[in-house]
Amino acid sequence: MKNFKIYMLPVLFFITGNLMAQQTPAPQQERAVTIVGATAHIGNGEVIENSLIIFEDGKLTTVTDANSTKRQYPGTVIEARGKHVYPGFIAPNSTLGLVEIDAVVQSDDEDELGELLPHVRSIIAYNAESQVVESMRPNGVLVGQIAPRGGRISGTSSIVQFDAWNWEDAVLKEDDAIHINWPNSVRRGRWWEGEDPGVKPNDDYEKDIRTLSQFFNNARAYLSGPQNTANLPFSAMKKVIDGKQSVFIQADGEKEIIDILQFAKEQKLENIVLVGGYNAYKVADEIKAANIPVLVGRVHSNPNQEDNHYDLPYKMAYLLHSKGILVGLENSGSMERMNSRNLPFYAGTVTAYGANKEEALKMITLNTAKILGIDDTLGSLEVGKDATLFISDGDALDMRTNKVSNAFIQGREISLESHQTQLAKRYIDKYGQQEKK
């Protein structure tokens, strides 16, 4: 038995390595790339039907109509007539790379013990070799904001690109925001303790808000004093207090959203982002007046309340957009990591419920980049920005036609192979062989 274990160990390591290995990250761009003839969806609402796009050293140098220039095309030329080119899609408020297998505790780093944890940094737990992260790229999802979960203040997120050896290589914007789970004003009765299982007021709601406010006040007092004693949670609040770090607040209820607006005013917080916002359309005027953007919760969802219209989740983004609110799409919830690859199709659904196609596209490109504070380098196909983009055979917001043929992150052409594509090829071969018999 002992010898059997010795012989089996190398086999297990070999199998595990093959199961977990990700595609090798692409090398730095060495020569110019020119894309000719594609319909370019710039990401800012503009469309160029017959485009000429050139990028060198990871940056876009030309984005124009191909008919407007007759010069020699430099570097590698990709003829893309009949295809479409898009800026890389951005997945905000995501736990991609923090959990690999839900049932394996050792692979779950999305949550930490405690309630007030602004000093917990999700980036150091980010697994750049995650097979789940790898599966985003064939649908054009190339960038994400990696955020923690749990507690009242979950921790600090960072923004990464999805083709890297490790988190240091992946990070685009480190420690960009802290994430808060706002308390609920109502709760469901705990039937296991003999309570009525129906919805009832949360008696601790005001107390929870006071606790959160007190934490902010104590952090401000600590940072303005001599700081003779180290306090990691208070120290981690410095950029928030100075207005240099965003605060993403998860809340759905109408009352909760109004209380968040008041909290932001009292705490003098300038960079607030509302996440989820299921009932935000009811207080859209107040949100607009406060100039707060909204990351709308998963579009492909069922209504939360009995008196909601069946398609409310589908049209939520458009309802807020029509009020002049800056809107992005996020995907937190059940099976969120695997479902993140559906981000473009959420935007596609939004087009069927009010928004035009380019406005919906902005909700997963430039709008999200603005919300995350990275629109100077990402979110649209504009000269000077990172060459993070992809070419699709058809409409990238339609799951029937989003077939990505080439993808680039900072000018590097990345692999579109994943565990899923390998399985697809394997079983296509299998059934192809059966058809021949």
pLDDT in tens, 425-434: 888 888 876 5
Residue 352, pLDDT > 50, answer yes
- Residue 12 belongs to some domain of the structure: no
Q: Over 50: is that where the pLDDT of 387 sits?
A: yes
Amino acid in position 425: K
pLDDT tens readout for residues 34-53: 999 999 999 999 999 999 99
The larger pLDDT score, comparing residue 203 to residue 382, is at 382
In a domain, 187, yes or no: yes
pLDDT tens for 259-307 read 999 999 999 998 999 999 999 999 999 999 999 999 999 999 999 888 8
Is pLDDT of 8 > 80? Answer: no
The model's pTM is: 0.91
Domain count, the chain: 1
- Select from 398, 397, 396 the least CA-distant residue to 406: 396
In whole angstroms, how far apart are CA 3 and each of 9, 179, 429? 10, 51, 38
Average pLDDT on 303-312 reads 90
Query: What is the predicted pLDDT for the residue at 133?
Result: 94
405 located within any domain: no
Quick one: what percent of the chain has pLDDT higher than 70?
Answer: 94
Residue 248's pLDDT band, with cuts at 50, 70 and 90, is: very high
What pLDDT is stored for residue 303 in this prediction? 92
In a domain, 323, yes or no: yes
Across 120-163, the runs of DSSP E, i.e. the strands, are 141-146, 153-161
126 domain residue, yes or no = yes
Token code pair at residue 411: 């000018």
* Among candidate residues 264, 265, 270, 218, the one with its CA nearest the CA of residue 242: 270
Across the strands, what pairs with 171?
A: 160
Per-residue confidence at 21, pLDDT binned at 50, 70, 90? low
Res. 15: pLDDT tops 90: no
Q: How confident is the model at residue 72 (pLDDT cuts 50, 70, 90)?
A: confident
pLDDT at 372: 98
CATH of the domain at 266: 3.20.20.140
Boundaries of domain holding 363? 89-376
Nearest to 152 by CA among 211, 221, 239, 214: 211
d(Cα 370, Cα 145) in Å, to the nearest integer? Answer: 13
Cβ pair 158, 406 in contact under 8 A: no
Burial of 45 (0-12, 13-18, 19+ CB in 10 A): middle
Residue 50 forms part of a structural domain: no
Q: What's the rounded Cα separation, in Å, for the pair 437 and 424?
A: 20
Provide the pLDDT for residue 437.
52
- Size of the chain in residues: 437
**Mean pLDDT of all residues belonging to the chain:** 91
Q: What is the pLDDT of residue 44?
A: 96
Residue 391 belongs to some domain of the structure: no
Burial (CB count within 10 angstroms: exposed 0-12, middle 13-18, buried 19+), residue 208: middle
Alpha-carbon distance values, 388 to 27, 64, 168, 284, 383 (Å): 14, 17, 18, 33, 12
Is residue 436's pLDDT more than 80? no
Tens digits of residue pLDDT in 200-246: 888 899 999 999 999 999 999 999 999 888 999 999 999 999 999 99
CB 204 within 8 A of CB 187: no
Examine the pLDDT at 1 and tell me if it is beyond 70: no
9: pLDDT strictly greater than 50: no
pLDDT at 87: 98
Residue 353 within any structural domain of the chain: yes
